[in-house]
Homo-oligomer: A and B are copies of this chain.
Amino acid sequence: MKRIGKLHVLTDTVLQSRFSHTELAKQAISGGADTIQFRQKNGSTKELIEIATEIKRICSEMGAAFIVNDRIDVAIASEADGIHLGQEDFPLPLARKLLGKNRIIGGSAGTPEEIEICLRGGVDYIGFGPVYATGSKDDAGPATGIDFLKRIAQTTAVPVIAIGGIDQTNAARVMSAGAHGIAVISCVCCRDNPANAARELNDIINASS
């Protein structure tokens, strides 16, 4: 059965360089992350597959889901548990055809129109945002704010994972708004102790349910 995680950590080696993708994955999962997402725009396909395969191994061992961002070729080759596709990525219906029913497909949305596209494309969850302003993604749209998130969470037929500027200071508010979970980058990856940072978020998520 597909279970959509509540604490998604996108491992990032651009905003910080102290930790590798695999080190971040280990720390994040040990702190309570149940989903690791791998997003990297540079490097050869072979290199991306090698990193993804290593993260997948760690996720399997530690019991977390492994999701690849954008690159369905890398997801297939690394036997990822799923893929996360933005509006400018691979087409959702074809992704479902290639991955089958049992793998997770998430879609990014920041507007009701984009949510509609995701739902028609058969996503298992929606990454909605940016809820707050973020410096972690160059091409992120305008911040949606909490009220918009609340409306979306109430009316969307699949789990809504909030993303964008979420950290330990506002995660409780985001969960109270009805998000199924949160996806974070810098507030885990850029901290001195990513495991502790994930643990703080995990505690907030657990307290909110």
Contacts and interface: CB of A to CB of B under 8 A. Distances in A.
Interface of A: 44-47, 49, 70-73, 76-77, 86-91, 94, 98
Contacts of A46: 87-91
A45 B94 CA distance: 13
Oligomeric state, in copies: 2
Contacts of A49: 90-91
A44 B77 contact: no
Contact of A94 (B70, B76, B88, B94): B76
A86 to B, nearest CB: 8
Contacts of A72: 73
Contact of A45 (B45, B70, B76, B77): B70
A82 to B, nearest CB: 15
